[in-house]
Amino acid sequence: MTEPRASRPHMAGYGFRVAVLDDYQRVATTVADWSVLGSDVEIVVFHDHATDEEQVVRRLTGFDAAVAMRERTPFPRSVLARLPDLRLLVTTGMANAVIDLDAARELGVTVCGTGGWAGAMATIELAWGLILAVARNIPAEDAGIRHGAWQVGIGTELGGKTLGIVGLGNLGPLMVPVARALGMEVVGWSRNLTDERCADVGVRRLEREEFFATADVVTVHLKLGDRSIGYVGRDELRRMKPTALLVNTSRGPVVDEAALIEALRQRWIAGAALDVFDREPLPADHPLRHLPRTVLSPHMGYVSTESYRTHYGDAVEDVATFLAGSPVRVLNA
């Protein structure tokens, strides 16, 4: 392992400065006790999002450590190389596709994670919330009532329908019990999915063409990586029923966003519920904001009081153990 960067003296009497990024809800300092780090450690919390590399570098210059909330802020080599003071980078969760772990190791930056399962069930709960919301037109009906209308549309029941799960890794199988409770059939597909894995989970494996033609609700549960970008694309969307729904709580680029917009505009599918997007926060002029038959949430699948307590509590521990010379949950050893 590359030797960590040497510490540098700081202004205002602080020996170690920690930047906490993207605390949108202003809760980072209330769900964890940062005071245990001692008076020699300065904690600076940023509630807004740095939108480009220049802003990230300006914001983090002079900090010894940064705490990143999931994949909200990328840390490629081009950013890490311009932060010579940075010695510790903490990411909530035990994987982060937008941190260059190799570059961090070469540059002497230790990268640590937090409890990897925190937020998993919260994501599953949100996925079902989105499915129910788009199937029963709940947001549109809510908006209608608030504007003086009554019963502006008609929804569809899930009982007797087929739930199609793209990806049966850690999260996909957690969708199955609720589907069964609602009386749904469950099928699975991914490029390397086996019959054995499907048998373990209790779902039926279908080939790609049949899967997308069969499922009434397609829910996506894949990790973001080079091989998963555009995993659900134009061809897959064209194969779906015109009554089918697409739900993505995985990562935005896993579904071809341009193809999805076309699918909604051309009514290839009945609707979509999305918690994740190619660019986050979603730009104000983004077409998805204005398309009908959509339910949008701001990447909040893992966002809950319980998961944040784990994430930020472990982040405090990561800083404390790094300062003690024995870092835990190191991702780039």
Structure tokens that stand for 242 in this block: 């015109």
- Catalytic residue at 146? no
Burial class from Cβ neighbours inside 10 Å (0-12, 13-18, 19+) for residue 246 reads: buried
CA 181 to chain CA centroid, Å, is: 26
Structure tokens that stand for 244 in this block: 């089918």
DSSP character string of 150-161: ---------TT-
Residues 6+ apart with CB under 8 A from 141: 151, 152, 153
- Helix, strand, coil percent values for the chain (each to nearest 5): 35, 15, 50
Q: How many Cα neighbours within 13 Å face the side chain of 269?
A: 32
Residues 6+ apart with CB under 8 A from 25: 303
Please tell me which residue in 87, 221, 251, 311 is annotated as part of the active site.
Answer: 251
Helix and strand numbers (H, E) in the chain are: 11, 12
Burial class from Cβ neighbours inside 10 Å (0-12, 13-18, 19+) for residue 282 reads: middle
d(CA 77, CA 71): 15
d(CA 7, CA 16): 8
SS (H, E, C) 54-66: HHHHHHHCCCCEE
d(CA 69, CA 28): 10
Please tell me which residue in 82, 141, 280, 293 is annotated as part of the active site.
Answer: 280
The DSSP secondary-structure symbol of 31 reads S
CA angle, 159 then 295 then 167, to 5°: 65
- Catalytic residue at 251? yes
Looking at the DSSP assignment, which residues form a beta bridge with residue 165?
188, 219
- Catalytic residue at 280? yes
Residues annotated as catalytic (active site), given as ranges: 251, 280, 299
